[in-house]
Amino acid sequence: MKGMAKYILHRLVLLIPVVIGVSFLIFFIVNLAPGNPAQMIAGAEASMEDIQRIEEELGLNKNIFVRYFEFMRDFILHGDLGTSYYSDKAVVTAYFERFPATLRLAASFIIVAVALSLPLGILAAVKQYSIIDRLSSFVALIAVSMPNFWLGILLILLFSEKLGWLPSGGDKYWYSIILPALTIGLQMMALMTRMTRSSMLEVIRQDYVNTARAKGLSEKIVILKHALRNALIPIITSAGSLFVDCVGGSVVTETIFSWPGVGKLLVDSISKRDLPMVIGFVTITTIVITICNLGIDIIYALVDPRIRSQYASGK
Amino acid sequence: MSTNSKPQVGKKRSRAAETWRRLKKNRNAMIGLSLIIIIIVVALAAPLFIDYETQVINQNIAERLQGPSLKHLFGTDNLGRDIFFRILYGARISLLIGAVSCLICCTTGVALGAIAGFFGGKVDDIIMRCFDILLAIPSTLMAIILVAAFGTSLFNIILAVGIPTLPQYVRIARASVLTIKQQEYVEAARAIGATNFQIIRTHILPNCLAPVLVQATLRVATVIADAAALAFLGLGIPEPTPEWGGMLSAGRAFLRDYPHTVLFPGLAIMITILALNLLGDGLRDALDPKLKK
């Protein structure tokens, strides 16, 4: 366990270069992109002086490396990621105002997706080529093959436009979450069912599973204890990456449903060329996601003693 | 060395034949493969039957927003263009994006992942830290930022949807290598004096082929979907080029009264992705060496 703690600390220290790397990458991509944000703020009919004045106010006339240095200095010393060009709101404040909505969306369906896809995937693998396997594979294939923006639009067409049961966007009522969550959740479930099935099939033919059966253990214990535990790593990988993608903001889904999460705000910021917002958001998202990924790695170690022993030996 | 390599080649050939034999028995995979072949043929043959200037991009306001009919199989869009023809032409763009970006990223990613996993230590650290940076940015977000920054040319889109998939290949290849390199047969190979390169090539790569191949087929599908999503957000190849995601996005305003403008382009994306998924699944089953008698 001491090796584990050391490992976590090690990873947290490694987070620093990742954050610096990401902010550097995004800072330069965004700043070197064509299109002058000062021009956007000033409007199409602004004079050259107006544009220059705004550039000076925003510090856009300075050298890009100087600006990056100032950006990192403020971030490291004050945790300050700058201020939006448009709303005069601190980027950090703006992000965490929107974050709960995104987190709510991500959490609400990862739980349902895991709860449904694990048993479905296991069943499909254990009874390979049975009706359950075929049916679940079929449903999963259809769901996974639908682009989520299309699925979202079809859900809107059916439940909002035709039936009028659910709102087509926004976050006004408690049930507003149902359609966007379904849009992500159905696909998440489909992906995870497939992953669970193929991962279980991988281990189910291993010798130790046969051995467990030969020892006279019940089928339930063989599957749940001997096979599932060994099949968990790929399942956790896929569940984890899906969750992480959602936490980072399901840009498309949030855009379709005007869901007031971080993904939607980011798309808006990009189209307005609100540079500090874009850079700051990606930087914060990075930190959030890296911590989530660390969590996934810790789960690996909890699940698989072979990985745990690697940590213990100080690798 | 030379005495060693001949039976190796023979063994590999029989493995491919064996895989194909098993794949042929899998009905779903064959459906997927047939669909993909049809889509490719359609994409290649489209210019022979359809005139791009008059039938694909020419606007005809008099016939706008017509429902499906014999004249316009899938109806017309808000600018009076035949949706069926536009979808057939759109297959060219989607397939090109999927194939090229997957080819570039799969090879790069797997090579880097195998190197990282096999050598471990410093090499592993450097490669994985670089990809941690990429992995830390959600793929759609990265694609959006890249395209928003560098413009919506075809090549930019191919890279923008491809680059975010790189870490996935790296991670999968690395994870397989990490498990495989602990196995006894790798130790045995080392004991009889195999070099690192030989071990990677003959023992490790074939063994992580199955997950990588399945992943690659799935990734072509997601890359196509991502490109369509970009177009849906207004960051695709600009009008009037027919692009499935862009067509869907344009039709959204008319969703309530003219759902066909949204249904058919979406269906085209779905069928393409479905075909790739069917084939990917079939390949997975056919490649599983543990099924071998």
Q: Facing residues of B82 across strands?
A: B76
Query: Is B152 among the domain residues?
Result: yes
Q: What is the pLDDT of residues B148-191, one digit of tens each?
A: 888 888 888 998 888 888 888 888 888 888 888 788 888 888 88
Q: How far apart are CA A40 and CA B39, in angstroms?
A: 43
Is the CB of B131 inside 8 Å of chain A's CB atoms? Answer: no
Q: A26-35, A229-238, A285-294, B37-46 — which one is most confidently predicted on average? A: B37-46
Counting the structural domains of chain B, the total is 1
Contacts across the A-B interface (CB distance below 8 Å): 144
Contact A169, A153 (CB under 8 A): no
Query: Is B2 among the domain residues?
Result: no
Query: Is B7 among the domain residues?
Result: no
- pLDDT higher than threshold 70 for residue B289: no
What's phi and psi for B47, nearest 5 deg?
Answer: -65, -20
Chain B, window 155-184: residues with a beta carbon less than 8 angstroms from a chain A beta carbon: 168, 171, 175, 182
The pTM is what? 0.76
Is the CB of A208 inside 8 Å of chain B's CB atoms? Answer: no
Enter the tokens of residue A305. 């003693």
Of A148, A284, A38, which is closest to residue B233 (Cα–Cα)? A148
Quick check: A267 and B233 CB within 8 A? Answer: yes
Looking at residues B199-211, what average pLDDT do you find?
A: 77
Quick check: B136 and A26 CB within 8 A? Answer: no
User: Using only C-alpha atoms, what is the Rg of chain B?
Assistant: 23
Looking at residues B240-266, what average pLDDT do you find?
A: 83
Q: How far apart are CA A55 and CA B23, in angstroms?
A: 62
ipTM of the complex: 0.73
Q: How far apart are CA A243 and CA A11, in angstroms?
A: 20
Which residues in B lie closer than 8 A to residue A184 (C-beta atoms)?
none
Domain that holds residue B195: 25-291
User: Nearest CA of chain B to the CA of A144: how many Å?
Assistant: 8
Of A25, A73, A23, which is closest to residue A280 (Cα–Cα)? A23
- pLDDT higher than threshold 90 for residue B279: no
Enter the tokens of residue A1. 């366990």
Query: Is B198 among the domain residues?
Result: yes
DSSP code, position B241 = S
Q: What is the pLDDT of residues A164-177, one digit of tens each?
A: 787 777 777 777 77
Q: Which residue has the higher pLDDT, B58 or B229?
A: B229
Query: Is B9 among the domain residues?
Result: no
Q: How far apart are CA B40 and CA B44, in angstroms?
A: 6
Query: Is B57 among the domain residues?
Result: yes
Location of structure tokens 């995601």: B245
Query: Is B240 among the domain residues?
Result: yes
Q: What is the pLDDT of residues A52-84, one digit of tens each?
A: 777 777 777 777 788 888 888 888 787 777 788
User: Can you give the CATH number for the domain in which B49 is found?
Assistant: 1.10.3720.10
Query: Is B131 among the domain residues?
Result: yes
- pLDDT higher than threshold 90 for residue B37: yes
Q: Facing residues of A83 across strands?
A: A90
